[in-house]
Structure 1
Amino acid sequence: MFLLEQYKIFRKFIISLLLLITSLVVGTLGFLTIENFSWIESFYMAVITFSTVGFNEVYPLSDEGRLFTSIYIIINLMIFAYVVSVFSTYLFEGELNRLYRKFVFGKEVKKMKDHIIVCGFGRNGSKACEELQSQNVEFVVVDRNEHLIDLIQNVKKYKFILGDLTQEEVLQEAGIYKARALITTLPSDAENVFLTLTVKALNPEIQVISRASEESTIKKLKQAGAQHVIMPDAIGGLHMAQHITKPFVIEYLDQLSGTNENGLCLEEIKYEDLKSDYQGQTIEFMDIRNRSGVTVVGLNDKGGKFVFNPSSKVLIESEVVLVIVGKQPDVDTFKSYYLK
């Protein structure tokens, strides 16, 4: 599989080398047969004819030799033009750089663990990548569209795998056995269902978040093993309508999503990330609001249950996750004061 992939990447390069070698062999045999030159003399004539450098002939050519040389030169001009175009693509148009980056990213992906696999780099996939990058979460992008390579690796500088997501080998290359979650944003619901089934067969423990276009697909994706199914179109339409029906609620949500210039930040704070002085203490004892300016809007308790607007008497115990909200400077103050 690896050798086949390498051949596909360097296919034009290999073809050009084979054309060069074939041309030299044909030229050498031609001069050897027609003019009865020695092997060295025939090879020399093939090289100077192919390269068109204009050195003198070893011996005067016969009529048959001149005819062969004329045809040989015409064919070699076409070969030479193809070889130059291929080499210029690799050297001057960034193809070599793309191949190098793909090689480097491939080695980095093999070392990744507990990362996220983002399948599809369309509108939804690109936004998912931006959020993951902003939160310093390791991820790799998988897409079959070669035209996106420059954007993914040179502009965004994301780790990526180029390949068909329906192939198990591509998912394995993306580290499906070591990943903790997979986000699939493929445009086709059928592809998302098939991909979810394939992923769950390879790694039953992985969390799958899938995009859906039709409501009827939600049940199928859930049955296939997706933990969360998102309908971007439905959410977008609802959001637009609520700008009229609930404008102040939407303004608050816009601030939370970062679309407002005075945006608020939502953060998850794990028990183990707190300084030892605050582990096992109550929210009241920590005095979070007065010391940092952020607000505790919820927490995930030891049983995995989410509690909205928790009491100030609640103990911050092992496995508890706090959800805080505030402006970025206040969140930074909280982190510097309370976190290790």
Structure 2
Amino acid sequence: MKFLPSQILYFFQNKGSQRNLAALAKFFVFLLCMVTLYSVLFHLIMLYEGKEYSWITGIYWALTVMSTLGFGDITFHTDLGLLFTIVVLLSGVVFLLIMLPFSFIQFFYAPWLEAQTRKRTPRELVKGVSGHVIITHLDPITERLVEKLKRRGYDYVIIVADAQRGMELHDQGYKIVVGEPDDPDTFLSVRVEDAALVVITNDDMMATNISFTIRGITAKVPIVAAADKEHSLDILNFPGNTQVFLFMKMLGESLAERVRGVGRLTKIVSSFDQLHIAEIPVSQTSLGGLLLTETMLRTRTGATLVGLWEKGQFEALHAKTIINKSSSLLLAGTLAQLDCFEEKFIITDLSSEDDKLVLVLGGGRVGLAASQVLDGYGVKYRVVEKSSAVVARGGVNFVAGDAANRDVLIEAGIENARAAIITTHDDAANIYLTFYCRQLRPDIQIISRATNERSVSKLHMAGADLVMSYASMGANRIMKVFKPDEGSLFIEGMNFFVQQIPGALVGKTLAESNVRQETGCSVVALRMDGELLVGPDPTLPLVKSTELILIGNADAEKLFGEMFGER
């Protein structure tokens, strides 16, 4: 109730509300005049019938008849009086029972609710906010980005054009400001000049409009934009955007790079300076069934074994961990160290698969990008696509039909394919196709795209060997622009981050710190005196100026912060 006076003041100060109230007042004046007229006629007809009543009685009779209550305590007995009663009754039904409620709702109640909604939703950021991220559109990428910003304690605000939608998001816990995303006043209200980054994921035309709007206010704030079409890159770069990403194309290229036999055997999933994070199936190495302490991996190659990854689940390593043959290894090291690992531990010869093709299910932007990468590596491929127009443009490597049809898949060559890349934008269809392909070919490598985070675990359950999230990929790239010293992997839930050495660890060696045992985070590199030491010597004393480069899942990162102080 304490907000009621401010809501009333806001409502009556609004020009639209003032016009609505004026129209409603005119209608009430009209009803008053009608009741007055009926009251006068009531007296005249009653005098004609030889009866006399007070003026209050006339008003009482008119209102009871118009509202259809009709108590029957006062009635006419002549035809003239009865005819007059019918006219009053019908006009009351129309004006009092039909038009009055609708007029009240249209000119008062609906505007009042709208005013309450507008008052509840923020219209500007509070004073003093700076270094925040401004998001102009909420979609799977920016939803994931918000999660990352919240977890790291960074300020953000989402611009929402629709007040009702803004209230819904506000009630869900999002920080929002209601305003048109192409209005300069909106960006002034979110303090764009003090922001650290603006993220634009609207369509290409609106993104261009927003970019020019921002550049009309400030030239210094970095802007990250997502482009839908490749020919939009030059246009979106024109307003001075810091980064423009073709996320669909990037996702397709990343999916293709993860096919066995394409590119490196150890698949690099993220990089930080000279440090690279790579993944490789244990089945392609000689490490299956060994204890971690038996591998001597760091001593023999310099690379660090960070953990095991199996069907979307990450397992941190301990001294007694047995390396499961069905898992994938997550390694950290320089390119030279990863090359050394391949030389010493790779046992699988993939040359037998060189002549086997790769199926790409879906010929959209992601599928086309994947096929271009495969073509660049000289890998045979077939794209299965429903659209005849896309198939006609694609040529002999395209097969027309529904990928959910067994005959179409057999025609495309699934019986002898080495891998299937599932690229449709519909997660439900991807789950279905993953399970279907796994039933047809239990031994095929299946790599699937997921648009929403909630579909990742389902795709692994359906039989996918690898799932790459569109939302996570986009959010990770944006975070890399926002905080270059922090990164996330394409492997879901894993992050690497930079931490100034906590005071509790100064003077200790890595072996004495027990960081991995106590938090689940792995120290994969040190930065000392500007030099990056990848796979550092565990007996090296840690000095005060040292920066730790760590990797771990969200829970491990949180535990590290709780034990050694927030970053």
* TM-score, with structure 1 as normaliser: 0.68
CA contact (8 A) 1:264 1:325 kept: no
Separation (CA, whole Å) in 2 of partners of 1:284 and 1:163 = 54
Distance 1:103 1:145, change over 3 A: closer
1:164 alignment partner AA = E
1:22 aligns with 2:37: no
Equivalent of 1:135, from 152, 175, 179? 152
Distance 1:332 1:106, change over 3 A: closer
How far did residue 82 of structure 1 move? 2.1
Distance 1:131 1:81, change over 3 A: same
**Greater helix percent: which structure?**
1
- Structure 1 partner of 2:142: 125
How far did residue 26 of structure 1 move? 0.8
Equivalent of 1:161, from 170, 174, 177? 177
1:174 aligns with 2:190: yes
Separation (CA, whole Å) in 1 of partners of 2:60 and 2:547 = 77
Equivalent of 1:309, from 526, 534, 539? 534
1:294 aligns with 2:521: yes
Query: Which residues in structure 2 correspond to 1:101-116 (within 5 Å)?
Result: 103-106=119-122, 109-111=125-127, 113-114=129-130, 115-116=132-133
Separation (CA, whole Å) in 2 of partners of 1:321 and 1:54 = 87
Q: Percent identity?
A: 16
Query: Which residues in structure 2 correspond to 1:314-333 (within 5 Å)?
Result: 317=545, 322-333=548-559
Separation (CA, whole Å) in 2 of partners of 1:329 and 1:127 = 17
2:191 alignment partner AA = G
2:99 alignment partner AA = I
1:230 alignment partner AA = F
How far did residue 250 of structure 1 move? 6.5
CA contact (8 A) 1:296 1:309 kept: no
How far did residue 129 of structure 1 move? 2.6
SS of the residue corresponding to residue 202 of structure 1 reads coil
1:215 aligns with 2:233: no
- Structure 2 partner of 1:200: 215
Query: Which residues in structure 2 correspond to 1:1-340 (within 5 Å)?
Result: 15=20, 21-33=25-37, 35-36=39-40, 52-54=68-70, 67=87, 70-82=90-102, 96=113, 103-106=119-122, 109-111=125-127, 113-114=129-130, 115-144=132-161, 148-149=165-166, 152-154=169-171, 156-187=172-203, 189-244=204-259, 245=262, 249=267, 260-262=312-314, 265-269=494-498, 271=500, 275-276=502-503, 292=519, 294-297=521-524, 309=534, 317=545, 322-339=548-565
How far did residue 232 of structure 1 move? 1.1
SS of the residue corresponding to residue 181 of structure 2 reads coil
- Structure 1 partner of 2:339: none
CA contact (8 A) 1:182 1:206 kept: yes
How far did residue 223 of structure 1 move? 3.7
SS of the residue corresponding to residue 224 of structure 1 reads coil
CA contact (8 A) 1:268 1:321 kept: no
Separation (CA, whole Å) in 1 of partners of 2:245 and 2:234 = 12
CA contact (8 A) 1:185 1:211 kept: yes
How far did residue 133 of structure 1 move? 3.1
CA contact (8 A) 2:117 2:163 kept: no
2:224 alignment partner AA = I
Q: How many residues align?
A: 323
Distance 1:234 1:308, change over 3 A: farther
1:309 alignment partner AA = V
How far did residue 184 of structure 1 move? 0.6
Separation (CA, whole Å) in 1 of partners of 2:254 and 2:92 = 70
RMSD: 5.1
CA contact (8 A) 2:117 2:167 kept: no
Distance 1:40 1:18, change over 3 A: farther
CA contact (8 A) 1:282 1:316 kept: no
1:116 alignment partner AA = V
**Greater strand percent: which structure?**
2
Separation (CA, whole Å) in 2 of partners of 1:225 and 1:182 = 12
Separation (CA, whole Å) in 2 of partners of 1:55 and 1:302 = 96
Distance 1:144 1:106, change over 3 A: closer
SS of the residue corresponding to residue 234 of structure 1 reads helix
Query: 5+ residue gaps in structure 2?
Result: 1-7, 44-53, 270-277, 281-306, 315-491
How far did residue 29 of structure 1 move? 1.8
How far did residue 83 of structure 1 move? 5.4
How far did residue 10 of structure 1 move? 11
Separation (CA, whole Å) in 2 of partners of 1:266 and 1:6 = 48
* TM-score, with structure 2 as normaliser: 0.44
How far did residue 233 of structure 1 move? 0.7
CA contact (8 A) 1:28 1:45 kept: no
SS of the residue corresponding to residue 209 of structure 2 reads helix
How far did residue 214 of structure 1 move? 3.1
SS of the residue corresponding to residue 76 of structure 1 reads helix
Distance 1:79 1:133, change over 3 A: farther
Separation (CA, whole Å) in 2 of partners of 1:112 and 1:44 = 61
1:23 alignment partner AA = F
SS of the residue corresponding to residue 110 of structure 1 reads coil
1:294 alignment partner AA = C
The answer to which of 44-53 and 206-215 deviates more is: 44-53
Separation (CA, whole Å) in 1 of partners of 2:17 and 2:147 = 34
Separation (CA, whole Å) in 1 of partners of 2:168 and 2:39 = 56
CA contact (8 A) 2:527 2:548 kept: yes
2:313 alignment partner AA = E
SS of the residue corresponding to residue 109 of structure 1 reads coil
How far did residue 74 of structure 1 move? 1.0
